[in-house]
Structure 1
Amino acid sequence: MEVRVLVADDELEIRELLTAYLRREMYSVDEAADGEEAVRLFERNRYHMVILDLMMPRMDGMEVCRRIRSMSNVPILMLTAKDQELEKIVGLNMGADDYITKPFSIHEVVARVKALMRRFLVLGSEESRQGESRMNYKGLSIDLKSYTVQVSGEDVSLTAKEFELLKFLASQPGQVFTKTQLFRNVWNDSFIEDDNTVMVHIRKLRKKIEADPSNPAFIQTVWGIGYKFSGERL
């Protein structure tokens, strides 16, 4: 299967660098020089991954991320500058799955892309081979084949990373995980361990699946340690 990646950045050198290295990994790559072009390309083509610069002309990365997320749950890796900590958090809230800071190591970017792609493309296949395609809890259903979630019978749209996080926690109910453990297992990343990334995704996930996010029934905080999944298995 051809894996197609969209690289959106207004700096030609960065686009060329990313494209060259991703094509070495046998990915098909399209480039966009601004936000509007990125959205147009995404609407016309099927992509499995988007690498998105935060600061672009004509439409910034935040708005591009929002529009892509309204159409698809493909992984989005956001590129940010060192002094854009607030924007990183906002980007994650808008639906980005991960971010990397400029200037970056191209090998780190490729590793992040491969990790996100691997989990996105094969998520659910292992569970299928083991005979389990759905995890059902009272008020919550997680379909591992179709990559979908229902809360009280209603479909809920999750990003790829939100789905992975929920799946990981729900597959081991009652088990308490630290933020570091969640980052290593869900993000599959040995480069950094980022508490903010985990916390932002937990907060986003709770808003989507909890009746009362401030008093969660499914994803509970174990103060001073981390998080656990609580749910009545059906």
Structure 2
Amino acid sequence: MKRILLVEDELEIAELERDYLEINEMEVVMESNGVRGLERGLREDFDLIILDIMLPDMSGFDICREIRAKKEVPILLVSARKEDIDKIRGLGLGADDYITKPFSPSELVARVKAHLARYERLAKSNIEPQNEILQVKDLTLDLDGRKVFIKNQEIIFTTKEFDLLVFFVKRPNRVWNKEQLFEQIWGMQAAGDVSTVVVHVRKIREKLENNGGFSESIETIWGAGYRFNL
């Protein structure tokens, strides 16, 4: 049974989310306090964490940052704030998804299942190594160890940054729109916000450029999407 940490200060919303997740055979641990939620998220093992952003004592953004620095676990941010800047900030801090209230409980369950399935596939790929190295100019991708090197120096990439970069490198010189990339990397067709693609492409470019790489290889084709040029 998958174990979910739900940090939400609105009791009615938290109980409704818990009920739907439990109906789908998940164990849900609820916390209404941000500090306690952070402590529990760091101390205990969870398969996925759901964080409300607007908590009275600690921002969901801060909790996300602290947990992501120490753990590789799916994190879903929930908020009534619809501004793009909040979505970009949350995704930039390492969240896997951003859900805007109001939303249907079934949508939440669908997204939770999609992220759980994706992390399971990643864990399985680590157990069954591919023994494959991708080399493009000074960029080296170790698919077995899930590591990125530029001029033999290791650069830290998040799970989805790595997956997106590998996807581009394996499929060069073709234009992919944001919806296609979202479906390929996040594994959902209509259950998420494609703005996460923009954020992750920007992060990849910054890491490549800041470490002597070639960020211009991921070209923006305006009105169409992105292309990795060789």
TM category (shorter chain) comes to 0.7 to 0.9
Equivalent in the alignment of 1:205: 204
Q: Secondary structure at the match of 1:28?
A: strand
- Trace 1:128-207 onto structure 2 (pairs within 5 A): 131-191=130-190, 194-207=193-206
TM-score norm. by structure 2 comes to 0.85
Distance of 1:214 and 1:143 partners within structure 2: 16
TM-score norm. by structure 1 comes to 0.84
How far residue 195 of structure 1 moved from its aligned partner, in angstroms, is: 4.3
How far residue 208 of structure 1 moved from its aligned partner, in angstroms, is: 2.3
- Trace 1:4-83 onto structure 2 (pairs within 5 A): 4-83=3-82
My pick for the range that moved more, 50-59 or 7-16, is 7-16
Distance of 1:203 and 1:134 partners within structure 2: 24
- CA 1:210 to 1:56, structure 2 compared with 1: closer, same or farther past 3 Å? same
Distance of 2:71 and 2:123 partners within structure 1: 18
- CA 1:129 to 1:73, structure 2 compared with 1: closer, same or farther past 3 Å? closer
RMSD value over aligned CA atoms? Answer: 2.8
Per-residue CA distance 1:85-111 (angstroms, 9 max, x = gap): 321221112111111111111111111
Equivalent in the alignment of 2:227: 228
How far residue 115 of structure 1 moved from its aligned partner, in angstroms, is: 1.0
Equivalent in the alignment of 1:91: 90
- CA 1:49 to 1:178, structure 2 compared with 1: closer, same or farther past 3 Å? same
Distance of 1:213 and 1:151 partners within structure 2: 7
How far residue 134 of structure 1 moved from its aligned partner, in angstroms, is: 4.1
Structure 2 unaligned residues grouped into runs of 5+: none
Distance of 1:169 and 1:154 partners within structure 2: 21
Q: Note if contact 1:124-1:147 (Cα within 8 Å) is conserved in structure 2.
A: no
Distance of 2:78 and 2:62 partners within structure 1: 14
Distance of 2:192 and 2:43 partners within structure 1: 36
Distance of 1:17 and 1:164 partners within structure 2: 33
Q: Which amino acid aligns with 1:33?
A: S
Q: Note if contact 2:130-2:143 (Cα within 8 Å) is conserved in structure 1.
A: no
Q: Which amino acid aligns with 1:108?
A: E
Q: Note if contact 2:205-2:216 (Cα within 8 Å) is conserved in structure 1.
A: no
Equivalent in the alignment of 1:3: 2
Q: Note if contact 1:184-1:193 (Cα within 8 Å) is conserved in structure 2.
A: no
Distance of 2:54 and 2:189 partners within structure 1: 27
My pick for the range that moved more, 182-191 or 218-227, is 218-227
Q: Note if contact 2:150-2:212 (Cα within 8 Å) is conserved in structure 1.
A: no
My pick for the range that moved more, 80-89 or 93-102, is 80-89
Q: Note if contact 1:97-1:160 (Cα within 8 Å) is conserved in structure 2.
A: no
How far residue 210 of structure 1 moved from its aligned partner, in angstroms, is: 3.2
Distance of 2:69 and 2:94 partners within structure 1: 9
Q: Secondary structure at the match of 2:149?
A: strand
Distance of 2:11 and 2:72 partners within structure 1: 27
Q: Secondary structure at the match of 1:113?
A: helix
Structure 1 unaligned residues grouped into runs of 5+: none
**Percent of aligned pairs with the same residue?**
39
